[in-house]
Amino acid sequence: MDFSSLDGQPVKALFLILWPAGVIGPHLEAIAQVSRVLKRDNFLERLKEASDKREIVSLFSEADKSVQA
């Protein structure tokens, strides 16, 4: 799907983060965390190769544990 990106490059991933109205702050940390893990070597490739939602959740959980360590 063409998203008319500013750099003219194709979109490789799209994330949707939903948060309750009136709650300010935690969603910003979630966005920052997604950004941090996407910068890691091979994370996006591993994410694209995931066969189901459990594997996707597992990838993010593993990344979260390594950030907290």
Taken as a whole, the chain contains a residue count of 69
pLDDT-derived band at 12 (thresholds 50, 70, 90) equals confident
> What residues make up the domain containing 62?
43-69
Residue 69 scores a pLDDT above 60: no
Q: What is the pLDDT of residue 13?
A: 85
Task: Give Cβ neighbours of residue 12 (< 8 Å, ≥ 6 apart).
Answer: 44
Q: Considering the domain boundaries, does residue 21 fall inside one?
A: no
Q: Report the number of distinct structural domains present in the chain.
A: 1
Q: Considering the domain boundaries, does residue 69 fall inside one?
A: yes
User: In the structure encoding, which two tokens stand for residue 20, read together?
Assistant: 């309750």
pLDDT-derived band at 68 (thresholds 50, 70, 90) equals low
Q: What is the pLDDT of residue 45?
A: 92
